[in-house]
Chains A and B, each alone.
Chain A
Amino acid sequence: MQIKIKVKGTFCNTWPNLVVECNKQILFNGLIENTQTIDIEFTKLIPTGNIFYLGMDNKSFGKNNIWDTRIVNNQIVEDKTIKVLSVELDGVECVELFNNRFHVKVSDKQPSYFPDTVPTDNVMNYNGYFYFNFDLPLYNSLINRKFKKESSDDISYFSNYSKVFHYDDQIKAINDIKKQLKEVDEKFSDKRSAIRNT
Chain B
Amino acid sequence: MKNLVISVPRLEIHRPPISTAIVAEVIRSTGHLVQALDLNCEFFHYLPNRQSYYSYDEIWDHERQPTFSELKNICKFIKSKCLPRMKSYDRYWISVFGGSATMFTELLCRFIRKYLKNKVIVLGGQGVNDASIVKKEMQFGEAMMKENLCDLYISGEGEHSVVEVLKGEIRGPGINGETPVQIDDIDSLPFPNYSFYNLDSYDYLTKNKEVFIVGSRGCVRRCTYCDVAKYWPKFRYRSGTNIAQEMITHYERHGVNNFYFTDSLINGSMKAFGDMCEILAKYNQDHHANFSWKGQFIFRPKRQLPKDHFALVSAAGGKEFYVGVETGSDKIRWEMDKKFTNEDIDFQLEEFNKHNINVIFLMLIGYVTERIDDHKETLAMFKRWQKYVATGTIKGIDLGQSLRFLEGTPLEKQIKQHDVYFLRSDESRKNYISTNLWQSKKNPDLDVPERIRRRIETHEEAIKYNWPIWRGAQRLNVIKGMMEKYLKFLQGQKEHPKKVVIENLNFFE
Enumerate chain A interface residues (CB-CB to B < 8 A): 90-93, 139-140, 142-144, 146-147, 153-159, 161, 163-165, 167, 169-171, 173-174, 176-178, 180-181, 183-185, 187-188, 191-192, 194-198
Contact = CB atoms under 8 A, between A and B. Distances in A.
B466 A140 contact: yes
Given A170-B476, A191-B497, 4 more contacts: A157-B57, A173-B479, A180-B484, A181-B449
B118 interface: no
Contact of A139 (B390, B449, B469, B474): B390
B190 interface: no
Given A173-B480, A174-B456, A195 B439 contact: yes
A114 to B, nearest CB: 35
A188 B474 CA distance: 27
B387 A91 contact: yes
B250 interface: no
B255 interface: no
Given A173-B473, A177-B476, A184 B54 contact: no
Contact of A161 (B54, B396, B452): B396
B369 interface: no
8 contacts: A139-B465, A163-B472, A164-B470, A164-B472, A167-B472, A176-B480, A183-B487, A188-B490
Interface string B436-475: 0001000010010100110010011001011011111110
Nearest to A92: B390
Contacts of A194: 495-497
Interface string B185-203: 0000000000000000000
B390 A146 contact: yes
Given A91-B387, A165-B468, A191-B490, A196 B463 contact: no
B501 interface: no
B389 interface: yes
A154 B456 CA distance: 28
A181 B483 contact: yes
Contacts of A158: 12, 471
**Contact residue range for chain B?**
35 or more
Contact of A191 (B51, B386, B476, B493): B493
A153 B54 contact: yes
B392 interface: yes
Contacts of A174: 456, 459-460, 476
Given A174-B460, A181-B453, A164 B396 contact: yes
A143 B466 contact: yes
B391 A93 contact: yes
Contact of B423 (A92, A143, A161, A195): A195
A171 B51 CA distance: 24
Given A139-B387, A170-B472, A194-B497, A159 B508 contact: no
B447 A196 contact: yes
Nearest to B480: A177
Nearest to A154: B50
